[in-house]
Each structure stands twice: as C-alpha cells, then as structure tokens.
Amino acid sequence: MGVATTLPPPTTSKTLQKQHLEAVGAYQYVLTFLFMGPFFSLLVFVLLFTSLWPFSVFYLVWLCVDWDTPNQGGRRSEWIRNLAIWRQLRDYYPVKLVKTAELPPDRNYVLGAHPHGIMCTGFLCNFSTESNGFSQLFPGLRPWLAVLAGLFYLPVYRDYIMSFGLCPVSRRSLDFILSQPQLGQAVVIMVGGAHEALYSVPGEHCLKLQKRKGFVRLALRHGASLVPVYSFGENDIFKLKAFATGSWQHWCQLTFKKLMGFSPCIFWGRGLFSATSWGLLPFAVPITTVVGRPIPVPQRLHPTEEEVNHYHALYMTALEQLFEEHKESCGVPASTCLTFI
C-alpha cells in the first residue's frame, strides 16, 4: 500500500507570502543547479589576479588536500538537509514520496531512479533532503544520491553538494559506500543519466535502460537488493526542445555529452513574475516519487553476463509493473506505457 509522506497545503489556502516563498525555493534550486559551479570556478580563478589572491590559493591548497573526500563518503550536513527552503521547494510543485514496501535496514540497496528529467528535482527533494521525511519513512537507511563525477571538480560547489549526501557515480565511490560495515546504505542511481535528459518531453515516459547494466553489476558485487523508483511528473516541470534522432542537432548533443559528461538541452519554464512568459521558473506540476519493492540479489564478486542479464530483466519487469500500478493515481492516462531504449 502506498503511503504519501506529506500533505502539502492546497493551493487555494496558500497566502500570497507562502506562494512567493515557494517560488523562491524553486527558483534558487534552478539557479544553483545551473550557475553555482561555473560561478565559483570563475571566481576562484579571477581572484588569483587581485589583492584577494590568498583566498584562492588557500582554497586550492585545501582542494588538493581534500580531493579524495567525495570518493570516501563525502561530508554530509544534516543542517543543510533540513533547511526550511527545501520544504518550500517541496510545496511549490508539490513533491511527494510514496512507499510501497518495507526496506529493512539489515541490508544495502541500489535504487534505480527514473526518469532523469532536466534537474532531478524529485530525487533531490526526497533523497537528498529531509523535506519529505525520508528517515522517518525508511528508518535506518542512509540515502546517497549518485551524480556526475565531474561536478566534484568544481570549487565550492563540490562542498555544497557533498553536504546533501551526494556522491560521484563512479565504481570507486559506490564500492566504498556499499562496503561500509554499517548496513542500511541506499545508493540512488539515475540509471538513464544525462542522455535520458534529452527525452524529458512532458507527457512522455522514455527511459534509457536497455543497455544500462552497470547498476545491476554493482548490486551483484555487493549483494545489495535492487529497488525500482519512478518519479511521476519529473518530465513535466519544464518544456523541452527535442531533436529527432539522427539529426545534426541531436548528434551535437551526443558528441558534447561524450566530451563533457552531460547533454546540453534547450528547455524553458515560466517567468518569475508572469505565468504567461518564458523563464527558468519550473511549472508547478505535482511530482510523485514512488519507491518500489526490493528485488533480492545474491552476492557475486565476479558476476557472469547471464546473471547480470537475469537480474536486469527482473528489474525492468518490476519497474514496468510499478509504473502500471501507480500511473493513473499520479495523473498519467491509462493508455500510456513506458518506452525503453
């Protein structure tokens, strides 16, 4: 039985001040996601040529000393994870977290998160903050949201995202977490990655999954249960300009991804002060993240291709079943089906 963790206030009961705070919460996340990394990278570089150069030098020395921390569990801050701004972000859409089965803390888990969307808003809210009370809903579990490893090369931004419990989506980092003596580690991997963001068209549910099997190998190496997770509404908070597969624009996007690790997308939301204009404020569409039932996985230090394919097939079936069971209650038409590419 699904259990929603929050009951956000109805829109009709929200005061003007509450609506403004929610918009600020949503907008600051967008600005931070897009610009915080490049801004501080440029700032550290520019300060080297000013009278404030000692600040940059001191930070760069600290960066060298602290370089490996992201691969060793990072440096999370419960204060950051519990800030009130995340509750405003949650209420803006609103974002909900639904539990369909118990996840006992006597084992580890690899949660496959779908779809990636443009900015992974639902997954950040539910797994990287306590805005929806993850620790109360899943007591004893310690969530880790695995993201692009290149983000941890960006000055200051790396420290900021580590405070949420984010970690690099690399073998070394994930092996470290799942090898901890304390059980209950829950690694959340956006399996489709940046490539899947290119298919984040509102109303569509297209997942890059057929050939993505690394997360299954990870689960087998550590005997961690696989858990499908689907975030309904994640693709609907922005409009996306999608280019046809095989077009030169799509080729440029894929080439850029191979070089830089992420795919450039042309997307837009509504204006900050006007719902009828273009802007970067996301559309206030409900996001419901549903956590499925665990799939027990045996530990195999050197899993065979047959074992990987077997559990990958089980996972895809469980994910499709999860989608079918919850799509209508989350506003998705009954005729809509998942598409795997």
pTM for the full predicted model: 0.91
Closest listed residue to residue 280, CA positions, set 293, 294, 266? 266
Residue 239 corresponds to which tokens in the numbers above? 């409009």
Q: Are 241 and 267 in contact (CB under 8 A)?
A: yes
CATH of domain 16-340: 3.40.1130
Distances (CA, A) of 168 to 72, 176, 208, 319: 10, 11, 20, 24
- Spell out the per-residue pLDDT of the chain, length 341, in tens: 445 444 454 545 789 999 999 999 999 999 999 999 999 999 999 999 999 999 999 999 999 999 999 999 999 999 999 999 999 999 999 999 999 999 999 999 999 999 999 999 999 999 999 999 999 999 999 999 999 999 999 999 999 999 999 999 999 999 999 999 999 999 999 999 888 988 888 999 999 999 999 999 999 999 999 999 999 999 999 998 888 888 888 888 788 877 777 778 888 999 988 888 899 999 999 999 999 999 999 999 999 999 999 999 999 999 999 999 999 999 999 999 999 98
Beta bridge partners of 278: 270
How distant, in Å, are the alpha carbons of 112, 121, 123, 219, 221 from that of 170? 15, 21, 19, 14, 14
- Do 40 and 160 meet the contact criterion of CB atoms below 8 Å apart? no
Alpha helices in the chain (DSSP H): 16-31, 37-47, 53-65, 78-81, 84-92, 121-123, 134-137, 157-162, 171-178, 193-196, 214-222, 248-260, 305-326
Instruction: Tell me whether residue 204 is exposed, middle or buried, using C-beta atoms within 10 angstroms of its C-beta: 0 to 12, 13 to 18, 19 or more.
Output: middle
